[in-house]
Amino acid sequence: MTTPGTPISLGNGCAVSDRFLIIVGFPDETSGSDTPVSRIFYLNLDSQTLFTYQDWVSETIVSACLRRPIGSILRAGCFLSEEGRVEIINSIEHLSEAVDDRASPHGSLRSLHEAGQTLFACGFGGQFYRRSSGGWEAVDGGLRDKAEQNMRKELGLGEFESDAPLGIEDRLALSNRSPDFTRVEGLSERDVYVCGLRGLIGHWDGSRLELLASPTDEHLLDIHSVSADRVLIVGYYQTLLIGSASEGFSTVHESDTAITFYSVRQFRGEIYVGTTSGLRKFNGRSFEVVHAPSAGLDETSVIQQIDSVSDDCLWIIGDRHIVRYDGMEFKRIEHPDNQGRH
């Protein structure tokens, strides 16, 4: 187990409010370890203790989202591990659930999101799940099973071997043919999008998952549903798609320069993306690097994720520190375990 003060590499996270942020970090000393540690930080600007934390040992958190309060249901942080474990946590509740209990693996889980009042999760191998009162259910329309069957067929596996899980070598050999989802996001239970590798885009309308025509074959990594008819999707080679399931998607920006857009948000009517080469803003033709010297933002900044819940605050999670933008000023918030580190 690591202790506070150990340098932390920050990763994913989610905005709870304009004053509260959840960040998932990984102690540097556990990098490459057989026992990974994911450290969940809670940044509360209205608390005397700015940062609090808890550890999740032996699994890697790949996605975090907020469960919004409604009626007697309290607000909670929700966390998804690569292995398919979901933890739902607040001050009085801690639920631990497995997304898929089946013995045959379909690949890693990648993203968790609450659309409306329902949690959705997606991952590699065509995995798409919805949480209901009875637990997690696959709602991919048979896509994950079809992907598994196609993989087995290409490997020449017979009926006798049909129930055996695919090994990692087999899965890697066929990974370029699998429908692999990387991100799920939506405004309601009847308007949920997924994106993935090789330009994959899908839409859930409340009853079925439909794969949509895509204008690109670049890997897609993040989605922001601004409204029912305006959805932003970003990915490799500075790809920005805008559209919707009803109107279709078009490529608004792409480049031969190998800069990846890992995260996207529309904030105060302008499009921002997070990259390993700085925070960037779209000017209608190209993406310009945001320079804010007092906050340490320039073209060398590594931005892991950006998020917001309103136009009053854009949260920017870097690899070592956090930046908060209120539309006028970028303010850097030092992480206590990374003091003195850039």
Q: For the chain, give the mean pLDDT.
A: 90
Number of folded domains that form the chain = 1
178 belongs to a structural domain: yes
Looking up tokens 């995995």 gives 127
What is the separation, in whole angstroms, between the first and last Cα of the chain?
A: 25
126 belongs to a structural domain: yes
Q: What average pLDDT does the segment 226-232 reach?
A: 98
1 belongs to a structural domain: no
CATH, residue 129: 2.130.10.10
11 belongs to a structural domain: no
Q: 167 is in which domain, residue-wise?
A: 68-258
User: Is 159 strand, coil or helix?
Assistant: helix
For residue range 50-62, list pLDDT tens digits in order: 999 999 999 899 9
What pLDDT is stored for residue 103 in this prediction? 46
The residue type found at 169 is E
Q: What average pLDDT does the segment 182-194 reach?
A: 98
Looking up tokens 């129930």 gives 163
270 belongs to a structural domain: no
92 belongs to a structural domain: yes
Q: What average pLDDT does the segment 185-211 reach?
A: 97
Distance of alpha carbon 150 from alpha carbon 320, whole angstroms:
42
What pLDDT is stored for residue 102 in this prediction? 62
Q: Which residues contact 245 (CB under 8 A, 6 or more apart)?
A: 191, 193, 203, 205, 210, 212
188 belongs to a structural domain: yes
What pLDDT is stored for residue 31 in this prediction? 79
Q: pLDDT tier at 104 (50, 70, 90 boundaries)?
A: very low
327 belongs to a structural domain: no
